[in-house]
Structure 1
């Protein structure tokens, strides 16, 4: 990136660069990138004037660091996706079709001029391809049209031009990307926050935060940057980052992640990563880089067609060299194989994608559908994908020899009833399911991230963590040692309950595995998937317990969002074709890096935008069907290739022998193309298998 210094003082730089006027320029990214530097106090971009103002402290050394940072400015600063420069639109198709009709209707003296004008883009494209890429299908197309024009066979030339233009339009429509960059979805939905400045609470803009600032977090607020808690206690919902729905206890020394929300409590924490370096910004950068990275994808059908180009071109050239018969030569070049091959693949894909949509499976593009058929490894996020999005009471263990499960549940649910968090909701739902009544209570006190103290039927009831009962309240919890270990091995969260200073029981809560998850994994293996992997931010015991229950081959635990993307890329480097199934914003790096990203209906808006396949039901059962039908689609497409190749080869032989004219050749060739297309369209009505 080249910047020109327009004006400078000891504490301010004003620079100019042409890319600052580019519509694709991401102003916020540049401001965050520079604003995260230690000496920078303010950044202002004037896109209209293509200028940038940077205010700083630290004199000449700081100025040098700023200029060095600008010299190595990441390409992510161009935050808009650049669409392909040239695409065939429907207007080109209409003009090509109109020219075929005008060949019959216009005066003969006008037809040659208009035909050359109409076909010139295709001819020029063939010349350009020959120079830049060598002998490809485009060269053969251009040669066939040019020979027809030279022979004054304008009907054949215009008909070939029209069919090829239609094919290009269908191909562009299938390949055109269906989404833009996702950076705006990842920007924190807050512009201002509170900091502790010389003992006073002061509201400041988030973009002005610097490393070392003391940020104050209140209940209900979103944390704008990463840092470490210095004082206070709170429960934080980090599901947008880690995907786990159980709130995390924040206390002095705990790490705070940008994008997490304080559900209860109050903390002060020191900013450690701000601007473009926060967790949420790093996820955004990961997604942006993955989308912008060039990934040209050429259909197998086109590649196979290209392999036939030298044969056809050689045959045509040989015919001309031996016979000097332009008509025979044009006839050979009219059988270029490309029309049916170019058209049949995208239409077959579109027809099967339509069929998939009727089954509740939305596919963004044909490339994703093709990739799905080749998947060798399925990687699942755990929470919300293989499990339900809520906790469930799994076990009640009485420890005092007198209390029943129902009594323990009644006391715990009553104590937790006033509070709205996943643990209390699970207790209330289980009490309602069992018909266990809630009891009158006269006093309730909630201790953030620890537990509940309540007076029920005149007795003091404590419900919470072992730390709360044992360390804070002095209750003997040794009777829980053995059952506690077994519960943790099964991946449970544990609540301890005490009555009048004595431990009376344990309540185990865990995530409910989706009822269809185990069968889904088995069916995927039966259909040819070599590896099934589960990623989660959970601890090892909880992750392995669910993995064993579902029959998953590999389990990876304590994964951060950006690590998911790296893991997917490592699998691809091993030669695996990877499908990633996730539902949270934290799954976006995995979804975008995978060959196929798959999201359920209830997934976050970011996950749905990032995924290339959307399951319209909150159910995994359609996934094996989609995997199977995509394989069937590609098999159908290959059959179409061999059918088109065989029939066109027969026509080629007739053209070589001079038994049919270029016009008849073109008619036969076009008839074969239409037949192949109709066969491709039949996929839209295939029966489920």
Structure 2
């Protein structure tokens, strides 16, 4: 494998007229990947360029160039386009346009000023503005009466405004209309679009496929592959079909589909799936399912059929108004008939209990959304906060969610006398350098973090699924599986891997990262076992504490994983999750089914995941949670995005939601109690409409300010710290 040190470019495959490079920066910077593809496509000697960001891969078909020329072109494209070191953050909602408040505010000011003798000329302007603002209410009330044949809050507002207009009053209706507009605007600000954008099928399974036709490999669109055809998959490419391996062997990374961090070794007879990635080796497949028939396509179809919840926050005001409209009309009519006083009737209709709720509840949700943002949590809607407040079941994907999603070296045990852990790690890293395999990458990365000098590798041979033999500083080194070392004649008799003590490697940061579910890779030097390297996909540091906190709060925890049952059981035991709530070998459709079953059982379910394989379950959950560094589709679907990629902040989001629910209950009392007392006065001894308006609007303002209280308190706490 050829390597350009200046840009970390690897040549993973090369034949006449075609080369495939691996460039890690392609996955980090979408703009750079697009620029690179465009730049190379414009070169006269290049026929075709295809960039696969998920695989950090770029495939180039060319005419009369060589590898050094291609590498030089890539370097030139890079120098012309600065590279962003930060991943592109998920899109956030655009800023709301508050201009719709301009006319109501102007009308209120004009109405108030028009009472002054010198400003009477403003009254016609105020009347015109009031009529303009009232027309939408007239329209909605008419539709409700004639089309739906029922009274609604607009009917109540229209009659109250009409009585005020009949008495020549302008300030009261203008202020009411302004408050209504403010409440509607804030409510819309917390809404989330119901349109769900899903990933294109070709993005999931790869745009192209190599098939053998008329005895020669040709490249076609992946959706044009026919069932039964032989498909060739080269290193670094996504598998474009579901099928059976006919020839070859390869290391296949299935994390995108199953969530399992450990790759599999695909050999003759192995079933492989579209959207998975060939990390090393080459496969010839028989295409059994293609295009929309693949497992990846079935996952996307499930996603598109997922129920789209009403993401607008629940309109408590409308629900309350439906119950109070008719009694309010009857009471106002009775008072008007007895007293012949339109003012008292208008006072009763003004005290509708609803305006304050229409303002305070959206404001509470808006404050909660901002509060979450300050904690590094993106919550997309008020409905999400409502659901978070009542979540009683949390379902976690394992890989990349509860675990770090990357294989990490956690320990070394030495067996050769005089051989230190650093020496074993150094030999293994030298042997595994520039091998496109997660374990090899974990070993070389860890050696780099320990500042070890990695010697050059001389002759070497890599056997897919077994290991690699190489000559390092004149020594014959073997790195691979137990079967590989035994096959090469290394004596491993009497070796009990279950009793390995963990031996510190130089400066192992956190012994808590170790666990019973370690995997092993063996290192031999000159025919003798030198040591065993222990590695795992370790838990996130915050995972155990979060699980304990959620269980202590009475919530039910479930773990979903593509792992085999034995490994899943070990992870569940380490996190102290009951065995019945640990679900192994879960493909996307199984994950969605488990979430559906829990919701059908009456649970309010939050699902936490980060990959394409989690997208269906995310869509079916009551609340979906992902990470800023999760897959694009997971971030798009998620109701909650943990922007700091800190799983512990999930608990903060749940707590903020519960606080918001309590706040809404307080606001309801602040609105209903004074209006109810005022209504009693207006119905019995009488109440001036102006006083009714002050009580009515004053309670709305008080509830609105109460909604902002947690946000203000949080800001004060930040200033103190």
Q: Distance in 2 between matches of 1:382 and 1:281?
A: 23
Structure 1 position 332, deviation (Å): 0.6
Partner of 2:139: 124
Aligned to 2:245: 229
Cα distance in 2 for residues equivalent to 1:182 and 1:367: 21
Q: Are positions 1:350 and 2:366 aligned together?
A: yes
Give CA-to-partner distance per residue, 1:564-596, whole Å, 9 cap, x none. 222212111111111122222222222222222
For 1:655 and 1:244, locate their aligned partners in 2 and report how far apart those are by CA, in whole Å.
68
Which string of whole-angstrom CA distances, capped at 9 and with x for unpartnered residues, describes residues 497-524 of structure 1?
A: 4455565654332111122211122222
Q: Distance in 1 between matches of 2:318 and 2:326?
A: 14
Q: Pick the aligned partner of 1:97 from 105, 108, 115.
A: 105
C-alpha change, 1:483 and 1:668, in structure 2 (3 Å) is closer
Cα drift, residue 336 of structure 1: 0.7
- Map of 1:317 onto structure 2: 333
Alignment partner, residue 64 of structure 1: none
1:667 aligns with 2:694: yes
1:296 Cα offset (Å): 7.0
Distance 1:99 1:224 in 2: 63
RMSD (Å), alpha carbons: 3.3
Matches of 2:625 and 2:191 in 1, distance apart?
18
Structure 1 residue 149, shift from structure 2 partner: 4.1
Q: Which of 374, 386, 391 is residue 407 of structure 2 equivalent to?
A: 391
Secondary structure, in 3 states, of the residue corresponding to 1:249?
strand
How far apart, CA to CA, are the structure 2 residues paired with 1:661 and 1:500?
101
Match of 2:570 among 521, 545, 549: 545
Counterpart of 1:284? 300
User: Contact (CA 8 Å) 1:397, 1:505: kept in 2 or not?
Assistant: yes
Q: Which moved more, 1:123-132 or 1:425-434?
A: 425-434
**CA apart distance, 1:364:** 1.2
Secondary structure class of the residue paired with 1:142: helix
Instruction: Please state whether the residue corresponding to 1:462 is helix, strand or coil.
Output: strand
The normalised TM-score by structure 1 is 0.78
SS at 2:103 equivalent: helix
TM-score if structure 2 supplies the norm length? 0.75
The count of aligned residue pairs is: 600
Is the deviation greater in 564-573 or in 402-411? 402-411
Q: Equivalents in 1 of 2:454, 2:156: separation in Å? A: 81
| SS of residue in 2 equivalent to 1:183 | coil
Distance change (3 Å), C-alpha of 1:432 and 1:274: closer
1:563 corresponds to which residue?
590
Q: Deviations over 1:603-624 (max 9, x none)?
A: 2222222212122223222222
Cα distance in 1, alignment partners of residues 386 and 154 from structure 2: 24
Superposed CA deviations along residues 178-205 of structure 1, whole A, max 9, x for unmatched, are: 8741234973484332111132111212
For residues 340 and 662 of structure 1, the distance between their equivalents in structure 2, rounded to whole angstroms, comes to 17
SS in 1 for 2:406: strand
Distance in 1 (CA, whole Å) between partners of 2:403 and 2:432 is 24
> 663, 673, 684: which one pairs with 1:636?
663
1:584 equivalent in alignment to 2:585 = no
CA displacement, residues 305-360 of structure 1 (integer Å, 9 cap, x when unaligned): 54343443332233234444433222111111111111111101111221221221
Contact conserved, 2:410 with 2:535, CA < 8 A, in 1?
yes
CA distance in 1, matches of 2:219, 2:310: 42
Secondary structure in 2 matching 1:132: coil
Classify 1:418/1:169 alpha carbon distance in 2 versus 1 (closer, same or farther; 3 Å): closer
- Checking the alignment, whether the CA contact within 8 Å between 1:186 and 1:284 is kept in structure 2 is no
Please state how far the C-alpha of 1:635 moved relative to its aligned partner: 0.3
Separation (CA, whole Å) in 2 of partners of 1:536 and 1:143:
59
The alignment partner of 2:251 has SS state of: strand
The answer on whether the counterparts of 1:305 and 1:341 sit within 8 Å (CA) in structure 2 is no
Once the two structures are TM-superposed, the CA of residue 628 in structure 1 deviates from its matched residue by: 1.5
- Secondary structure (helix, strand or coil) at the match of 1:266 reads strand
**Displacement, 1:460?**
3.5
Match of 2:679 in 1: 652
Say whether the 8 Å CA contact 2:369–2:378 is kept in structure 1: yes
Match of 2:15 in 1: none
Task: Quote the residue 2:542 is aligned against.
Answer: 516
Give 1:330's match in structure 2, choosing from 331, 346, 350.
346
Correspondences of 1:101-500 after superposition (within 5 Å): 101-103=109-111, 104=114, 115-130=130-145, 132=148, 134-177=150-193, 180-184=196-200, 187-188=203-204, 190-290=206-306, 292=308, 298-300=314-316, 302-397=318-413, 408-431=424-447, 442-456=458-472, 458-470=474-486, 473=488, 479-480=494-495, 483=498, 490-499=516-525
**Which of 616, 622, 625 is the matching residue for 2:652?**
625
Give the distance between the partners of 2:124 and 2:459, measured in 1 at CA. 100
Contact kept? 2:201, 2:297, Cα under 8 Å:
no
CA distance in structure 2 between the aligned counterparts of 1:573 and 1:479, rounded to whole angstroms: 53
Q: 2: CA distance between counterparts of 1:220 and 1:106?
A: 77
Contact 2:466 2:480 in 1 (8 A): yes
Alpha-carbon spacing, 1:171–1:476, altered in 2? closer, same or farther (3 Å): same
> Once the two structures are superposed, what CA deviation does each residue of 1:525-574 show, in whole Å capped at 9, x if it has no partner?
33x24211221111222222222222234321111123222221211111
CA–CA distance in structure 2, aligned partners of residues 185 and 291 of structure 1: 20
Matching of residues 591-610 of structure 1 within 5 Å: 591-610=618-637
**In 1, Cα distance between the equivalents of 2:167 and 2:240?**
71
486-495 vs 327-336, which deviates more?
486-495
- Distance in structure 1 (CA, Å) of the matches to 2:151 and 2:483: 74
Q: Quick one: structure 1 residues 501 and 435, their matched pair in 2 at CA, closer, same or farther if it must change by over 3 Å?
A: same
1:440–1:261 distance in 2 versus 1, CA, 3 Å: closer
Distance 1:569 1:375 in 2: 15
Indicate conservation of the 8 Å contact 2:251/2:264, yes or no.
Answer: yes
Give deviations 1:248-307, integer Å, cap 9, x for gaps: 222222222222222211111122222223333333223322264667752446534543
